[in-house]
Homo-oligomer: A and B are copies of this chain.
Amino acid sequence: MANLISYNLLNSTDIDFFLEILPPECVKTDKNSLEAAAKDYTEDLSFLPAIVLLPRETQEVAAIMKHCFHRNLPVTPRGAGTGLSGGALPVYGGVVLAMAKMNQVLHLDENNLQVSVQPGIITQQLQELVETKGLFYPPDPSSRGSSFIGGNLAESSGGPRAVKYGVSKDYVLNLEVVLPNGTIMETGAKVLKNATGYNLTQLMVGSEGTLGIITRIDLKLIPLPKMNWLMLVPFVSPEKACEAVSAVFRAGLCPSALEFMEREGIVFTLKYRSDLSFPLPDEAKAMLLIEVDGNSEEELMNQCEGITHVLDSFAPSDIWMATSASEKEALWKVRRAIGEAVKSHSIYKEEDTVVPRFQLPALLQKVKELGKTYGFESVCYGHAGDGNLHVNIIRGNLSQEAWENELPKAIRELFAYVKSLGGTLSGEHGIGWVQKNYMDIALSPTALTLMRGIKKLFDPTGILNPGKIFPDEEV
């Protein structure tokens, strides 16, 4: 792996500078803090930084960046560290810029249905806050109980509700960002439509902290739907389940979530989470979890009837309906716990494949074929309504040699197939550190060259989140 960039090492003068602009509790060099910032939720990867800084406001971020820019110190921004592609890993050491103390709601504008927040607020806290005013911030990554809104935007996160409401990028009106050289800039305006120059806002969203540090976010909100119901539908084959997904949309229905779980994923989860329970009939080889929302029981009933009618032709073995909060939560808990269960109990790699949704059955079949060829087990689940399938590849009995050298070949085959279906590498987890060497499959050399040019434009010396998104170059 080539490292073409070289950085300075942190010295005591740097630490003195940081202690001048930040109080001691915001400048961390102790072992525990460094070790905590060395990892995110990605596989078992770990890279120790030299220091962790916790700015409290934009001006502090600007001062830190200005210093690091002049000193040529690598800076890795960090939200809650729940990322699944290694975006927050400080792979070149240096400074971790942790946004945990920038967690304020700056302005909840009920007149305009907007909210301005700092990046370090936990997504679910933000959601609960606006819900008290009858407002709704729909994007709901599984990590929303701990992930930060800033990290959600950096990775262009989605979640189950994306199928009806769009992903986090669709709610951003404007960003305040600090550029690598310390300049503070706004990308847009607090408006619902904007045709004023290039879309810097959407360029920043999903850039995985490689172009600038997000320090304020102006979000659009929508009215909160009054109620939702959840249907759980078992299928005799994963393929039938995936086909049904496409048919639901084709029939003009628009559920607020449409999640796919293969049997193995549920079994795996129940094995390691004895506190959870889930109805899993013997014949069920896959399950769909289908949520509908709206403002009246009538509306929900109409949608459920429409969906049931479509599903009937795919012979589900049964359809359960959850309408109480506790019943719904019990089902969602299992869905959300799958990734965690896999993570807790095996070394694994997660692929965030996304294809046009009608191609899901083909994608799933390919995953299983590759598993047979390369000898790996996989647990597949995800946002079927969006064509977004999370493929968890379990290390199991694979030799170190196979895991390190053979498996990447299988992943390349998988991504090449995804690409041939019209899909791409990541739907909502980003490229980060672990997928970057597959980027040549998804993007042409021209597109990659333009992206590198954009990176260079924003970050000429490459100090910001180095080692991410772009494939290693040959030396």
Contact = CB atoms under 8 A, between A and B. Distances in A.
A163 to B, nearest CB: 8
A352 B191 CA distance: 13
A187 interface: yes
Interface string A192-222: 1111111110110111000100000000001
A195 B112 contact: no
Interface in A21-36: none
Q: Majority SS of interface residues in chain A?
A: loop
Q: Which 6 A-B pairs have the closest CB atoms?
A: A223-B252, A190-B422, A202-B202, A189-B424, A111-B358, A193-B427
Determine which residue in A109, A189, A193, A448 has the highest number of CB atoms from chain B within 10 A of its CB, and name it: A193
B252 A134 contact: yes
A191 B425 contact: no
Contacts of A358: 109, 111-112
Interface in A277-300: 295-296, 298-299
A123 interface: no
Given A191-B354, A205-B199, A447-B185, A112 B246 contact: yes
Contacts of A192: 162-163, 354, 357, 386-388, 427
B450 A458 contact: yes
A82 B249 CA distance: 34
A191 to B, nearest CB: 5
A191 B387 contact: yes
Nearest to A158: B193
A203 B199 contact: yes
A250 B110 contact: yes
Contacts of A194: 156, 354, 424, 426-427
Interface string A332-364: 000000000000000000001011111100000
A236 interface: no
A335 B386 CA distance: 37
Contacts of A138: none
Contact of A302 (B162, B163, B296, B352): B296
A114 B246 CA distance: 12
Interface string A224-242: 1000000000000000000
Contacts of A109: 356, 358
Interface of A: 109-114, 134, 155-158, 162-163, 166-167, 169-170, 179, 183, 185-200, 202-203, 205-207, 211, 222-224, 246, 249-254, 295-296, 298-299, 302, 352, 354-359, 383, 386-388, 419, 422-431, 439, 442-444, 446-448, 450-451, 453-454, 457-458, 469
A358 B191 CA distance: 11
A428 B194 CA distance: 6
A131 to B, nearest CB: 12
Given A193-B383, A195-B431, A200-B447, 14 more contacts: A109-B356, A158-B193, A188-B424, A191-B422, A192-B354, A193-B387, A194-B354, A194-B426, A194-B427, A195-B429, A196-B431, A197-B431, A198-B203, A199-B202
A116 to B, nearest CB: 10
B187 A447 contact: yes
Contacts of A207: 198
Contact of A193 (B167, B444, B446): B167
A447 B356 contact: no
A444 B200 CA distance: 12
A426 B189 CA distance: 11
Contacts of A386: 191-193
A31 to B, nearest CB: 33
Nearest to A253: B223
15 contacts: A112-B387, A166-B170, A185-B447, A189-B419, A189-B422, A191-B427, A193-B387, A193-B388, A194-B354, A195-B430, A196-B431, A199-B202, A200-B451, A252-B295, A296-B302
Nearest to A355: B191
A65 to B, nearest CB: 13
B254 A223 contact: yes
Contact of A195 (B299, B357, B427, B454): B427
A111 B200 contact: no
Given A197-B443, A206-B199, A431-B195, A250 B454 contact: no
